[in-house]
């Protein structure tokens, strides 16, 4: 079979030895990577603390969780790096009110600046997304410096919006576990930290686990339900793999949604959805889930019906 006979998404992924292209790291307790410069919030040279950015950010859905610190007197302290990637780094930050017991851990995702990001696949994902001003659309299409900055903002905004909607959906009869989207400011996204709050250890990715037969069936069931919820909301994850699914206290948590795809508005939407199903289905089948329970074709067809695509 020649390369041009393959679907576009298959050609792009050929030759990759991993399910995704980021570089997971354990939390580094040494000198943390500095966050983007903020002239209005310089860190304390002695403690590394800076004032909370809550006041000038777009906030997540209400009601805010009880654990979330929203006081303007709070300060943010960099604790280290949770994960590095080609497009963004994820940092661990403690937000706390001085001289009180009010504190919480946050996962802070910072997209790289236009000169250092590698959004090599952005054209396909951005189809169906538009901004109101024609100048900005032209800049993004031409990949000017301003356009690249606009695209970075779109990735952060798209992930924030998708998480906010899914969080609100999960409060109803549909169930999907996602991190609570705390706030977004430009290309910086603050999220609920999923892991052990005492140690600061993040929940493991699905790819790190070797579940037994019963746990494997349960995780697959949770994943299928999460995919149904995404489809009913009109979404395909767009880059789903065992590397962007966390398992926390037996619960499967969907993460890394900057490339979320509108299944209807994006002409490649069904193809992205089919690839999501194929990738995760392959992982579960390789770990022993019976073939009759993992039928990518049947599941994709079901999800397209859920999304209203016949």
Residues marked active site are found at 239, 256
DSSP label at residue 150: H
Judge contact between 9 and 275, C-beta under 8 A.
yes
Judge contact between 106 and 190, C-beta under 8 A.
yes
CB under 8 Å, gap of 24 or more: what pairs does 141-150 form? 145/114, 148/114, 148/117, 149/114, 149/187
CA dihedral sign, ordered 211, 213, 214, 217: positive
Give the bridge partners for 76, in sequence order. Answer: 50, 95
Task: Residue 125: name the closest of 272, 306, 252 by CA.
Answer: 272
Q: CA-to-CA distance for 176 and 288, rounded, in angstroms?
A: 24
Judge contact between 253 and 268, C-beta under 8 A.
no
CA distances from 294 to 203, 238, 242, 280, 301 (A): 25, 19, 15, 10, 13
Q: What is the 3-state secondary structure of 184-231?
A: EECCEEEEECCEECCCCEECCEHHHCCCCHHHHHHHHHHHHHHHHHHH
| Helix (H) and strand (E) counts in the chain | 7, 14
DSSP string, 31-85: SPPPPPP-TTSPPPTTT-EEE-SGGGSEE-PSSPPTT----TT-EEEEEEEEEE-
* 3-state SS assignment for residue 94: strand
């Amino acid at each position: 079979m020649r390369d041009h006979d393959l679907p576009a998404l298959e050609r792009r992924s050929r030759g990759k030895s991993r399910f995704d292209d980021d570089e997971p790291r354990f939390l580094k307790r040494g000198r943390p990577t500095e966050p983007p410069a903020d002239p209005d919030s310089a860190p304390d040279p002695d403690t590394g603390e800076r004032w909370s950015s809550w006041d000038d950010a777009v906030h997540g859905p209400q009601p805010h969780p009880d654990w979330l610190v929203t006081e303007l007197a709070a300060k943010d302290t960099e604790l280290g790096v949770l994960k590095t990637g080609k497009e963004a780094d994820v940092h661990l930050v403690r937000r706390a009110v001085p001289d009180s017991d009010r504190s919480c851990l946050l996962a802070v995702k910072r997209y790289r600046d236009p000169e250092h990001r590698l959004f090599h696949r952005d054209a396909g994902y951005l189809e169906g997304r538009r901004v109101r001003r024609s100048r900005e659309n032209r800049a993004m299409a031409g990949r000017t410096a301003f356009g690249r900055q606009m695209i970075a903002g779109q990735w952060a905004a798209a992930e924030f919006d998708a998480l906010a909607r899914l969080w609100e959906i999960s409060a109803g009869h549909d169930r999907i576990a996602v991190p609570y989207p705390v706030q977004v400011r430009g290309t910086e996204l603050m999220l609920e930290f999923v892991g052990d709050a005492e140690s600061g250890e993040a929940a493991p990715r699905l790819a790190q686990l070797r579940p037994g037969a019963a746990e494997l069936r349960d995780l697959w069931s949770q994943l299928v339900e999460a995919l149904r919820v995404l489809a009913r909301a009109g979404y395909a994850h767009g880059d789903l793999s065992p590397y962007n699914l966390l398992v926390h206290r037996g619960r499967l948590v969907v993460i890394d949604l900057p490339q979320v795809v509108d299944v209807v508005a994006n002409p490649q939407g069904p193809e992205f959805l089919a690839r999501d199903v194929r990738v995760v289905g392959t992982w579960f089948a390789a770990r022993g889930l019976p073939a009759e329970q993992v039928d990518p074709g049947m599941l994709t067809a079901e999800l397209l019906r859920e999304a209203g695509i016949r």
